[in-house]
């Protein structure tokens, strides 16, 4: 179930899989189906389209890349029972992995998708070859979370135009340039019968975000982080107000073998802000731990955390 009319030019999903309880999961793919499997999981309120540039880049490099809309988002079904908990997300992921032949994937998760990936691996639901967390760790900043919630909860009555949608995004992401062409927004909104535009995700997704739920979620993610043994990369946007440098360092203490990249000029939406730099950092990591045509997994080299400057150069972070 979903609501609203798809706008002209909105890409149809390349694939449809069945998630938990038969719920429809929509996805896209790039690259050689015989290459190492990489699965991209988007953040809350986003869709699979957030990964298009990354998917194309990794596909060209030789990986088989899958991005899918989480339940209640994009072209995937809304949950009739309003179940958008972490367990349901993990089970949907497991269903897609099964549909793909139970191949061992690399999991790349941004924000909500990172939490899903961390639990899936940390609690042994998915046997992955590597994990890449994008601007998410167990300890997140309360104010940053409030900012995201405020953005997602605005205009429940809908936007009167795509210009108004763009203005809302500008206020939330002032570091980005205002888009000259608003056609790209069509992928993330639907037109209601009342003539207003609304984000294409179920408003019930935002329920269950009280302080106790958040506290229990952090404890669960902390436990999962401590159990990680596979090659792991944490990528943070240097401008992020959700994952602070302290939060990133706390994760590195819990998972001391993990690598760390800090991307200058990027906020919480790292891939969207600096897709070229982000994609190259992912490829550099995967070329060592899940190489094309090589051994399934190699131990990562011992490396210091790195900072990626505006030009894309890597610098050690003390």
Q: What CATH number should be reported for the domain holding residue 92?
A: 3.40.50.1820
Q: Are strands 306-308 and 314-316 parallel, antiparallel or unpaired?
A: antiparallel
Residue 139 burial (10 A CB sphere; 0-12, 13-18, 19+):
middle
In the chain, the number of structural domains is: 1
Is residue 153 situated within a structural domain?
no
Is residue 228 situated within a structural domain?
yes
Is residue 189 situated within a structural domain?
no
pTM of the model: 0.89
Count of alpha carbons within 13 angstroms of residue 213, beta-carbon side: 8
Find the domain containing 232 and state its range.
5-144+205-316
Is residue 179 situated within a structural domain?
no
Per-residue pLDDT of the chain (318 residues; tens, 9 = 90+): 456 788 887 889 999 999 999 999 999 999 999 999 999 999 998 999 999 999 999 999 999 999 999 999 999 999 999 999 999 999 999 999 999 999 999 999 999 999 999 999 999 999 999 999 999 999 998 888 888 888 888 888 899 998 898 888 888 777 666 666 666 777 888 898 899 999 888 988 887 666 778 889 999 999 999 999 999 999 999 889 899 999 999 999 999 999 999 998 888 778 876 777 898 899 999 999 999 987 655 454 444 444 444 434 433 333
Is residue 166 situated within a structural domain?
no
Is residue 22 situated within a structural domain?
yes
Is residue 73 situated within a structural domain?
yes
Is residue 194 situated within a structural domain?
no
In this predicted structure, what is the pLDDT of residue 90? 98
Separation CA 223–CA 125 (nearest Å)? 15
């Amino acid at each position: 179930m979903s609501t609203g009319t798809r706008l002209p030019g909105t890409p149809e999903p390349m694939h449809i899989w069945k998630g938990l309880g038969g719920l429809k999961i929509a996805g896209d793919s790039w690259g050689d189906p015989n290459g190492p499997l990489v699965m991209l999981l988007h953040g809350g309120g986003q869709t699979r389209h957030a990964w298009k540039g990354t998917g194309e880049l990794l596909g060209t490099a030789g990986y088989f890349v899958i991005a899918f809309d989480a339940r209640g988002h994009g072209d995937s079904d809304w949950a009739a029972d309003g179940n958008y908990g972490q367990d349901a997300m993990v089970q949907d992921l497991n269903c897609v992995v099964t549909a793909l032949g139970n191949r061992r994937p690399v999991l790349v998760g941004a924000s909500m998708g990172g939490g899903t990936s961390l639990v899936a691996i940390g609690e042994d639901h998915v046997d992955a070859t590597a994990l890449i967390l994008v601007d998410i760790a167990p300890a997140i900043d309360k104010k940053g979370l409030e900012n995201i919630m405020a953005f997602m909860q605005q205009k429940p009555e809908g936007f009167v135009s795509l210009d108004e949608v763009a203005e809302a995004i500008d206020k939330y992401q002032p570091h980005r340039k205002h888009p000259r062409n608003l056609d790209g927004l069509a992928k993330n909104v639907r037109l209601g019968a009342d003539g207003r535009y609304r984000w294409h995700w179920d408003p019930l997704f935002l329920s269950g975000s009280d302080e106790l739920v958040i506290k229990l979620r952090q404890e669960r993610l902390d436990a999962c982080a401590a159990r990680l043994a596979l090659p792991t990369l944490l990528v943070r946007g240097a401008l992020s107000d959700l994952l602070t440098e302290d939060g990133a360092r706390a994760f590195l203490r819990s998972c001391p073998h993990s690598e760390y990249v800090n991307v200058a000029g990027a906020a919480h939406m790292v891939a969207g802000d600096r897709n070229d730099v982000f994609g190259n950092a992912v490829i550099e990591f995967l070329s060592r731990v899940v190489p094309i045509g090589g051994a399934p997994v190699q131990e990562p080299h011992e490396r210091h955390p790195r900072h990626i400057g505006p030009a894309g150069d890597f610098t050690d972070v003390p």
